[in-house]
A and B are shown apart, each in its own frame.
Chain A
Amino acid sequence: MQHWMEWAVAFFLLLGGSFVLIGSIGLSRMPDFFMRLHGPTKATTLGMGGILLGSIFFFSISGDVSVHELLITIFLLITAPISAHMLIKTALHHKLKAIEKTAGLENIHPAQQKQHDRQPKP
């Protein structure tokens, strides 16, 4: 195994691992749900990208070219915003409290109202 390739694998793995860790730190230490959502959706997705890139390099140098890890990366990139959107919609529906100093709380109101006075389907 070439030396510099090993360094590249190590670099990507460490980068990915630290981003995954940062995402979970954000999840555990932020004060309200809406702020907690930011860590897992962004940092964790990029962290997974880093780890999978490291895996691609690792298998490509020790044998055949291996690119199917890209599939997981693409899949996570597409699905992360969707699950974030579903989660924040659920949170608004359940009227979770945001912390006091959040600006623009009045902007939520029309969105919540609309969900509640939903017209019955014909």
Chain B
Amino acid sequence: MRFKPKYRWLPTPYRSMLLLIVWLLLNQSVEAVHVFFGIILALLIPMLTLRFRDPQPLIERPLLALRYILRVFADIITANAQVAVLILGPKRRLNPAFVRVPLDLQHELPITILASTVSMTPGTVSAEIYPSAELLVPGEPLPQRWLLIHVLNMGDEAELIASIKQRYEAPLKEIFQC
């Protein structure tokens, strides 16, 4: 994991890019004036707000991150078809469950992304991460952390855990190199 940015004037390159895109979308134009002002804002805002934030790990493999985003989009669409069928189907046949998934990731940002992904994809909502961050004693080695998820209709528990770990957690580990 790498925390130190490459250039001091560009501490968070992807956030700057997102800010520029949002600015252009708000103005609905790609005229030179808007692009120019957007670039100024995209450079200025991260520099001004950097000190409010804890340093976050940087994305090391942008192409892999792009592929991850596309995969999650595809999964959201298939997931919704499945959930729609489950919701309209008979209630008696649903088998809800609470499952805990052991986490290999350690830092907060990758865990947050993993939890959000799990919330958006097939029949699962992430509920809690424990032991929570405020219970961790600084200086001691990190204990094994668990992600508690609620599943709308569970088939095989081991298979579900394996698919989450292999489909979402492994690419995140690659992207942040941790």
Q: Which residue numbers of A lie inside 8 Å of B, CB to CB? A: 19, 22-23, 25-26, 29-32, 34-35, 37-39, 41-43, 45-46, 64-68, 70-71, 77-78, 80-82, 84-85, 88-89, 92, 98-99, 101-105, 107-108, 110-111, 114-115, 118-119, 121
A114–B127 touching, CB < 8 Å: no
Report chain A residues within 8 Å CB of B96: 32, 34-35, 98-99, 101-103
Q: How many A-B residue pairs have C-beta atoms within 8 angstroms? Tell me.
A: 131
Q: Shortest distance in angstroms between B157's beta carbon and chain A's nearest beta carbon? A: 8
Given known contacts A30-B91, A37-B150, is B128 in contact with A92 (CB within 8 Å)? Answer: yes
B38 within 8 A of A: no
Are B119 and A84 interface neighbours, CB within 8 A? yes
Whole-angstrom distance between the alpha carbons of A101 and B119 in the complex? 22
Given contacts A37-B125, A108-B148, contact A45 B120 (CB under 8 A): yes
CB distance from A82 to the nearest CB of B (A): 7
Which residues of chain A are near B163, meaning CB under 8 Å? none
Instruction: Please state if B116 and A82 are interface contacts (CB–CB under 8 Å).
Output: yes
Query: Are A80 and B84 neighbours in the complex by a CB distance under 8 Å?
Result: no
CA distance A43 to B81 in the complex (A): 8
Interface residues of B toward A: which range? 35 or more
Measured between beta carbons, the chain B residues less than 8 angstroms from A85 are 115-116, 119, 125-127
Indicate whether A84 sits within 8 Å of B125 (C-beta atoms), given known contacts A42-B120, A71-B22, A107-B100.
yes
Contacts of B117 in A (CB 8 A): 81
Q: A104–B98 contact, CB under 8 A?
A: yes
Contacts of B170 in A (CB 8 A): none
Complex: A38 Cα to B148 Cα, angstroms:
15
Q: A103-B98, A114-B130 are in contact. Are A38 and B28 (CB under 8 A)?
A: no
Asked whether B87 is an interface residue with its Cβ less than 8 Å from the other chain, the reply is yes
- Asked if B106 is at the interface (CB within 8 A of a chain A CB), the reply is no
State in angstroms the CA–CA spacing of A26 and B91 once bound together.
10
Residue of A nearest to B148 (CB): A111
- Alpha-carbon distance A119/B91, docked complex (angstroms): 41
Shortest B143–chain A CB gap in Å is 11
- 16 chain-A/chain-B pairs, Cβ below 8 angstroms: A25-B88, A26-B83, A32-B96, A35-B152, A42-B79, A42-B120, A46-B76, A70-B25, A77-B120, A81-B116, A85-B125, A92-B127, A103-B154, A107-B148, A119-B135, A121-B134
Task: Verify B127–A88 contact, CB threshold 8 A.
Answer: yes
